[in-house]
A and B are shown apart, each in its own frame.
Chain A
Amino acid sequence: MNEQLKHMTGQVAKGLMTRREFVGRAAALGVTAAVANSMLADRAAAQDAPKRGGTIKLGSSGGESTNTMDPALTASEVPLSNIRHWGETLTEVNPDGSVENWLAESVEASADAKTWTFKIRQGIEFSNGKTMTSEDVLKTMQRHSDEKSQSGALGIMRGIVDMKADGDNFIVELDTPNADLPYLMADYHLMIQPDGGIDDPAAGIGTGAYTIEFDEPGVRHGFKIRDNYWNPDKRGFAEFSEVLVLNDATARTAALQSGQVHLINRVDPKVASLLDRAPNLTVESASGRGHYVFIAHIDTAPFDNNDLRLALKYAINREEMVDKILRGYGSVGNDMPINESYPLFDESIPQREHSIEKAKEHYAKSGHDGSPIILRVADGAFPGAVDAAALFQQSAEAAGIPLEIKREPNDGYWSEVWNVQPFCASYWGGRPVQDQMYSTAYLSTADWNDTRWKKPEFDAMLLEARGELDTAKRKEIYSEMGQMLRDQGGLILPMFNDFISGVANNVGGWETDPNGEVMNNKANIKCWVTDA
């Protein structure tokens, strides 16, 4: 019933239905005129111009009492939402995947894509009153590229051989050409801080729309609007913004239902469709780049045999996993870490189908001795990983493949199992561009090469694409790389998961953003409350 009502409010908003008709039809569905009118008002208000003032509250999982405001150490959802309030990067990745100049006014590359010049926007003040200069940008980048740094951005800073500040410009010199540098500069670790934040990286001083009002790790974080924010038309509508740490999925949904928060992240797929029936909120899902995977080390027996890997890839029932594990909130994968959310994705690569016959055929060809193939798994790898492994085991059994599941504890999974054991379940959050995804996990020298994919020809193609400024050619190279990984890699990728968020009806400005959860963790700074 609620689906219909929501659809109808949309019709009214588009002018396809009159208000009177709406109230009449709503009454037929058992809704009183008062409720129907207020639904219309909510919907209409949400589509109006941004409204300033009020408090917007996000209930978020992924926060702990051990969290800090230092962008270098940011790794989970709550700290990420937090630093977005006060910090900003040189560039930003838009929901449509394009890159936008943000603190950089313009970006220019030399013809060989090795030298990049970022012209720094003038007259922007940090929240401590200091004006941002190219020196601050330089120092920030130096902090993250220091080999002694613990920064999560260290990996992407490695290709930089030289950096300098020259007047209003910040100039980067790369060792190999990289056409994606503007995307890399949008990495959330690289929040521009005064003097690079070297003295006190967790002070929360930046160019963002908010300043820290209170900071209680693992409990709640509060931010107040700044008077002199440089870009008030695009960010910072609510007077006050709060991030409440609600790690328990039921606590999150209850808080949204009872109106204590306006937004929640990570809605459990099992309850998403039920939750969407509540009249005062909407469940929003964004198909992203995150993928749930099974990874095999291709340099370790028996996974060093490509026929065995293909047998496993054909044996897995992708549709069933998307249905049962993700409840439809996701899409099937094709054994390569790239999907249509990426720029330059090639749709023409055929989708691998579930086929017991082909699995049997490849398994026979592999000459495997029939001993159990051990798959290590814990629900910490991804939600529903144990169930997914059980489904995998069943369909493998149908093809005569003796898959055995070994359940591991969540605790210590990322240190003891992932990237250590030859075959296990894992999760990847994806990256904004193909180059970064491949460089992080599929380059021979990558720190996180968790499938032990070491192919010189693949590395060469990656470098070639990286320096290629002609997008048609780049797309072709990426397509070839994707197919190579799909047919020979140790990655078994059955599904891409959606980001599922819950949004109260009195929130305006919501947009679907595949770059991360709750609008790439920017919902608090980009949305507004309509009844403020």
Chain B
Amino acid sequence: MHPILTLIAQRLALGILLLFAASILIFAGTSILPGDVAQSILGQSATPEALANLRAELGMNEPALSRYFSWLGGFLQGDLGTALTNGRDIAESLGGRLKNTLFLAFWAAAISVPLAIFLGLLAVRFKDRWPDKLISGITLTTISIPEFMIGYVLIYWISIQLGWFSSVAIINDGMTLGQKLNAIAIPVMVLTLVVLAHMMRMTRAAILNVMQSAYIETAELKGMRMLTIIRRHAFPNAIAPIVNVVMLNLAYLVVGVVVVEVVFAYPGMGQYLVDHVSKRDVPVVQACGLIFAAVYIGLNLVADIVSILANPRLRHPK
């Protein structure tokens, strides 16, 4: 087998193992939290009888291990089960939420990734001059402000003062693409501002690193134009670290946007997960946890493969 295929197969196997480990950690984690699902559903109004009845009905009296394995068995057969709290089909609720999360992440990525790389290249071109300092200054400011703060400020100016976009980002299937984009405009701006700096700085650093190599000096001595050097010689060699940071930020856009979802009431995975964690609804938490873990592992896998493909020394091992 080609060494790259072997490498990918190894990574995949490792990924599945990691997912399994993640499911155990999530289960153990939810088990040691104070209270259980019955207690959480009934809240302050829990009476001992109602608690006992609900526990029995939810199958909470089974040992943890058997609950875990029956869940895992179902999961492997594609059955995510029903939520303990409201009896809804998990796969169905989760599907819609996942779609929304990916929708938001897609638009945030579609804007932030090209913009970050462009700004990074621009910063390298004008290294240590005012455009570089301006770009760094602005992006470092926005990454330093908590995202809820950026969100509130944008809501105040764009939604309340100017009335351009909606402050509530609730989307549904009945909306047209235009309506959906209008609804998510401000959250996309917030996410873009939050992830921009990281990717831009990494692009800049990676290219600058390459720029110190001997072959770049040669290219310079040949009299090539700066932009051409960056485009033809520096950028391809900086792809691996850039792809890594891009994937990391894509993962963040999928799994780390709970705060943004709360501020804009966006119906994504994050809020769904948080609700069910606080209710100790283990099947849902596990399903969400596994999907998040899969996204992280999958994106890292992609980053690895791209790095391998971009690196001749790995592509043609001795």
Chain A residues near B (Cβ < 8 Å): 59, 64-68, 73, 75, 147-152, 154-155, 202, 214, 216-220, 244-248, 250-251, 254-255, 257-258, 260-261, 411-412, 414-416, 418, 427, 447-448
In the bound complex, residues from chain B placing their C-beta under 8 Å from that of A412 are 33-35
Asked whether B286 is an interface residue with its Cβ less than 8 Å from the other chain, the reply is: no
B263 and A250 within 8 A (CB): yes
In the bound complex, residues from chain B placing their C-beta under 8 Å from that of A260 are 166-168
With contacts A150-B53, A218-B271, A411-B34 taken as known, whether A246 is within 8 angstroms of B43 at the C-beta atoms is: no
In the bound complex, residues from chain A placing their C-beta under 8 Å from that of B46 are 414-415
- A-binding segment of B115-123, B152-160, B292-300, B308-316: B152-160
B49 and A251 within 8 A (CB): no
In the bound complex, residues from chain B placing their C-beta under 8 Å from that of A67 are 86
In the bound complex, residues from chain B placing their C-beta under 8 Å from that of A219 are 170, 172, 265, 267
One of A154, A244, A250, A418 near B44 (C-beta < 8 A): A418
B49 and A254 within 8 A (CB): no
Q: Give, as a whole number of angstroms, the nearest-CB distance from A123 to chain B.
A: 34
A254 and B159 within 8 A (CB): yes
B166 and A258 within 8 A (CB): yes
Question: In the bound complex, what is the Cα–Cα distance between A150 and B57 (angstroms)?
Answer: 10
Question: In the bound complex, what is the Cα–Cα distance between A247 and B49 (angstroms)?
Answer: 30
Asked whether B93 is an interface residue with its Cβ less than 8 Å from the other chain, the reply is: yes
A65 and B48 within 8 A (CB): no
Q: Give, as a whole number of angstroms, the nearest-CB distance from A215 to chain B.
A: 10
Q: Give, as a whole number of angstroms, the nearest-CB distance from B187 to chain A.
A: 11
By Cβ-Cβ distance, the 5 closest A-B pairs, closest first, are A412-B34, A66-B85, A415-B35, A68-B86, A219-B267
Q: Give, as a whole number of angstroms, the nearest-CB distance from A271 to chain B.
A: 12
Q: A66-B41, A147-B49, A255-B167 are in contact. List 15 more A-B contacts (CB 8 A).
A: A66-B85, A75-B43, A148-B53, A151-B50, A216-B96, A218-B275, A244-B265, A245-B265, A251-B262, A254-B152, A254-B156, A254-B159, A254-B167, A411-B35, A414-B39
One of A154, A216, A246, A411 near B168 (C-beta < 8 A): A246
Question: In the bound complex, what is the Cα–Cα distance between A247 and B168 (angstroms)?
Answer: 12
With contacts A219-B170, A250-B263, A251-B168 taken as known, whether A447 is within 8 angstroms of B279 at the C-beta atoms is: no
In the bound complex, residues from chain A placing their C-beta under 8 Å from that of B35 are 411-412, 414-416
In the bound complex, residues from chain A placing their C-beta under 8 Å from that of B262 are 247-248, 251
In the bound complex, residues from chain A placing their C-beta under 8 Å from that of B163 are 258
Among residues of B, the one whose C-beta sits closest to the C-beta of A259 is B163
Give the tally of cross-chain contacts (CB within 8 A): 131
Question: In the bound complex, what is the Cα–Cα distance between A65 and B43 (angstroms)?
Answer: 16
A66 and B264 within 8 A (CB): no
Q: Give, as a whole number of angstroms, the nearest-CB distance from A437 to chain B.
A: 14
SS class, residues of chain A in contact with chain B: loop
- Per-position binary interface string of chain B over residues 142-178, scored 1 when its CB falls under 8 Å from any chain A CB and 0 otherwise: 0000000000100110011001001110101000000
One of B44, B54, B156, B272 near A218 (C-beta < 8 A): B272
In the bound complex, residues from chain B placing their C-beta under 8 Å from that of A59 are 168
Question: In the bound complex, what is the Cα–Cα distance between A258 and B267 (angstroms)?
Answer: 20
Question: In the bound complex, what is the Cα–Cα distance between A210 and B271 (angstroms)?
Answer: 28
Taking each of A65, A150, A151, A416, which has the highest tally of chain B beta carbons within 10 Å of its own beta carbon?
A: A65
Among residues of A, the one whose C-beta sits closest to the C-beta of B268 is A219
Q: Give, as a whole number of angstroms, the nearest-CB distance from B116 to chain A.
A: 28
Which residues of chain B in 82-131 are interfacial with respect to chain A, using CB atoms and an 8 Å cutoff?
Answer: 83, 85-88, 93, 96
One of B54, B87, B264, B278 near A68 (C-beta < 8 A): B87
Asked whether B45 is an interface residue with its Cβ less than 8 Å from the other chain, the reply is: yes
A154 and B49 within 8 A (CB): yes
A411 and B278 within 8 A (CB): yes
Asked whether B7 is an interface residue with its Cβ less than 8 Å from the other chain, the reply is: no
A246 and B265 within 8 A (CB): yes
Q: Give, as a whole number of angstroms, the nearest-CB distance from B175 to chain A.
A: 12
In the bound complex, residues from chain A placing their C-beta under 8 Å from that of B272 are 65, 218
In the bound complex, residues from chain B placing their C-beta under 8 Å from that of A448 are 44-45, 47
Q: Give, as a whole number of angstroms, the nearest-CB distance from B249 to chain A.
A: 24
B86 and A217 within 8 A (CB): yes
B34 and A447 within 8 A (CB): no
B167 and A150 within 8 A (CB): no
Question: In the bound complex, what is the Cα–Cα distance between A219 and B170 (angstroms)?
Answer: 7
B275 and A251 within 8 A (CB): no
A and B contact pairs by CB, cutoff 8 A, 16 listed: A59-B168, A64-B275, A65-B275, A66-B281, A147-B53, A150-B41, A154-B47, A154-B49, A216-B96, A216-B172, A216-B267, A247-B265, A250-B155, A254-B152, A418-B44, A447-B48
Question: In the bound complex, what is the Cα–Cα distance between A308 and B292 (angstroms)?
Answer: 53
Asked whether B42 is an interface residue with its Cβ less than 8 Å from the other chain, the reply is: yes
B267 and A414 within 8 A (CB): no
Question: In the bound complex, what is the Cα–Cα distance between A80 and B70 (angstroms)?
Answer: 34
B281 and A411 within 8 A (CB): no
A149 and B271 within 8 A (CB): no
A155 and B47 within 8 A (CB): yes
In the bound complex, residues from chain A placing their C-beta under 8 Å from that of B204 are none
Taking each of A214, A261, A415, which has the highest tally of chain B beta carbons within 10 Å of its own beta carbon?
A: A415
Asked whether B276 is an interface residue with its Cβ less than 8 Å from the other chain, the reply is: yes
In the bound complex, residues from chain B placing their C-beta under 8 Å from that of A427 are 44
In the bound complex, residues from chain B placing their C-beta under 8 Å from that of A411 are 33-35, 278
Question: In the bound complex, what is the Cα–Cα distance between A412 and B35 (angstroms)?
Answer: 6
A66 and B275 within 8 A (CB): yes
With contacts A66-B275, A258-B163, A260-B168 taken as known, whether A75 is within 8 angstroms of B42 at the C-beta atoms is: yes
Q: Give, as a whole number of angstroms, the nearest-CB distance from B117 to chain A.
A: 32
Q: Give, as a whole number of angstroms, the nearest-CB distance from A17 to chain B.
A: 31
B48 and A66 within 8 A (CB): no
A66 and B167 within 8 A (CB): no
In the bound complex, residues from chain B placing their C-beta under 8 Å from that of A447 are 47-48
A66 and B170 within 8 A (CB): no
With contacts A147-B49, A415-B46 taken as known, whether A66 is within 8 angstroms of B168 at the C-beta atoms is: no
In the bound complex, residues from chain A placing their C-beta under 8 Å from that of B168 are 59, 244, 246, 251, 254-255, 260-261
Question: In the bound complex, what is the Cα–Cα distance between A151 and B57 (angstroms)?
Answer: 13
Question: In the bound complex, what is the Cα–Cα distance between A255 and B266 (angstroms)?
Answer: 13
- Per-position binary interface string of chain B over residues 277-291, scored 1 when its CB falls under 8 Å from any chain A CB and 0 otherwise: 011010000000000
Among residues of B, the one whose C-beta sits closest to the C-beta of A447 is B47
In the bound complex, residues from chain A placing their C-beta under 8 Å from that of B41 are 66, 73, 150
A75 and B45 within 8 A (CB): yes
In the bound complex, residues from chain B placing their C-beta under 8 Å from that of A152 are 42, 45, 50
Question: In the bound complex, what is the Cα–Cα distance between A216 and B172 (angstroms)?
Answer: 10
With contacts A154-B50, A218-B272 taken as known, whether A251 is within 8 angstroms of B88 at the C-beta atoms is: no
Taking each of B152, B156, B167, B275, which has the highest tally of chain A beta carbons within 10 Å of its own beta carbon?
A: B167
Q: Give, as a whole number of angstroms, the nearest-CB distance from A189 to chain B.
A: 10
Among residues of B, the one whose C-beta sits closest to the C-beta of A446 is B47
In the bound complex, residues from chain A placing their C-beta under 8 Å from that of B159 are 254, 258
Q: Give, as a whole number of angstroms, the nearest-CB distance from B263 to chain A.
A: 6
With contacts A218-B271, A411-B34 taken as known, whether A258 is within 8 angstroms of B167 at the C-beta atoms is: yes
Question: In the bound complex, what is the Cα–Cα distance between A248 and B43 (angstroms)?
Answer: 20
Question: In the bound complex, what is the Cα–Cα distance between A448 and B152 (angstroms)?
Answer: 40
Among residues of B, the one whose C-beta sits closest to the C-beta of A72 is B50
Among residues of A, the one whose C-beta sits closest to the C-beta of B167 is A254
